[in-house]
A and B are shown apart, each in its own frame.
Chain A
């Protein structure tokens, strides 16, 4: 996904002065990329919506501090990323619980409920290989999804990911490598299907 959202300077200036109409226009311009990023990492729509809300609350509160260095999307994306990562940290317990649930439901399941869950929301018209990859990607852990998405799709460097996650560069690199090994294996074995 490539984002080339240019926002008029005048709109940013109005938003900085606290104008709610301008702030809403910014929300409308960026709600989809923010939501999409959060959803890809967190997977649950409600969580992604919460991140969307938290992100814009912070955008509204701190847009006065935005000095216009870099693209506005870069600044907003930074906030969205940190909100999503914060949620991963908070949800670690929940994620463990959910994995248990999933393995119980998914055991020996070929075309039942697991299939349903996997197919809903998959893009109609997407090529099969892409659907397989989307499913395989969704089976990664939240942390792995975050690293893969930020690095491979959003174009973050390992240094940036490490900084955002409060981890080392080698953590980011090894997470990415492990995630790709898993992705490749799932695709080879048709696990995602």
Chain B
């Protein structure tokens, strides 16, 4: 017997009847074959961006057409799909994508990270540890980590071919001499399997450590830029850093106001016109599940001043 997965939830979850007059999962079979071949090469060459013939999708670029094309090439009626946008399951973008696959592929949908077989994401990795045999599909706007340092595509290609990444380290070191630390807080570059420098997509660098030796398969799709890349399960993913300036993730001086979590990525919410603020988990599913288990935050006392510090020490929270 199949379990019920939010069939009646307001996020439009569950399986609706597959639309007639459409190709299964929207894409035609020839396109799927081409994307599937690309995905297999991407898995065989971790971190390397494989070019592919991206198709027009019925959604504007920026809505994750690269991720959608990957998901469309994978998904079937036995899959359970979760879609998040900046950690939230209920944004217009996430709801639309879930509905799209529910209608074109008959897939079940869920907001619960643990239940999902495929998680398509824009800009976050869930707080709940992903497990083996899950697949996470990242929507990528700009796949080339060297783009802003070396605009010449041919030269960039050569640098990847020869593993010549000195220029990347020079750029990061310039940051340190100017700001005292590496300024990049999102899309922080990583080295995959000791070979290719890769863009993790615009996730906060807080999420970078989750990519390292993740048991789930990680697939990345850039629709406009026509690139697919991958990190197989249990693959080494190292955030670039220096011996004297090791990689660090951001920490907050407070806990989630709703669930009290002290080790999740927090969003700042403006509470009123006097500028009082509240910090809550960006991962809505993680937060809701904690609240449901009885964890409580400190909602009554909005924090006066936002202060994000860098460090590795965890704090004591509820």
**Real complex partners, A and B?**
no
A residues neighboring B (CB under 8 Å)? none
